[in-house]
Amino acid sequence: MNGTVLLVVHSRRSDPGQVAAALRTQGWGIDVRCPRAGESLPESMDDHAGAVIFGGPMSANDDSLPFIRQELDWIPTALDSGKPLLGICLGAQLLARCLGAAVTVHPEGLHEVGYYPIAPTAAGGDVFPEPLHVFHWHGEGIELPAGAELLATGDTFANQAFRYGAAAYGVQFHPEIREDILKSWMKRAADKLGAPGARPPEDHLAGHARHGAAMHRWLDGFIGAWLGNSD
């Protein structure tokens, strides 16, 4: 085993999905922790090769939630270690906040729920070799943090992926999604399926059938390069 990657989730029933599968396939162990359930985060990154902070239905601006405050206070520990850090959706928004950027709703109240296209920027060609359709489930977006590189853009929320330093990344989409997770989200958060800008419910599984495999191939390559484990 190469080492252990910390996975920070926001519900006991959260499923790290394809991220966990890709990590295991590439020889990494995983340590799943849920601060919302009272689990602690490590005082240092000495025992972890990297960390992934996943999404959740809460806002990165919910400082009144103790676990959100806990994660905001902890992220600098991960950044200062210089080890690989990946924020996914809410995780990216928490990372952006720690770097001094705002997290806000869309000015027209739009959401991204479903598969949407993203396009690489000039700086992002090494991370996104080509445009992708990726799965989203969010109603807030991020400003680009000072000193960060914008790696991918989208039509509704412009800032889709960024890199800070050599090893910290934030993505607004959910590469961990699988069909079983998607079905669960559609059932548990059915009210979001009708949000302004959301894809029609019937498009979700069809979109995953069309685009999910390509997104997972991207994830495999990203994890290999991000953790220095590429061939």
Clarify whether 71 is annotated catalytic: no
Neighbours of 55 (CB within 10 A): 24
Candidate list 10, 133, 174, 204, residue with the active-site label: 174
Sequence length of the chain is 231
Contact 3, 28 (CB under 8 A): yes
Q: CB-hemisphere CA count at 13 Å for 215?
A: 25
Clarify whether 98 is annotated catalytic: no
Selection from 182, 107, 95 nearest residue 145 by Cα: 95
d(CA 176, CA 137): 12
Candidate list 89, 140, 204, 208, residue with the active-site label: 89
Contact 4, 204 (CB under 8 A): no
Selection from 153, 149, 144 nearest residue 166 by Cα: 149
Clarify whether 108 is annotated catalytic: no
Residues with catalytic annotation?
A: 89, 174, 176
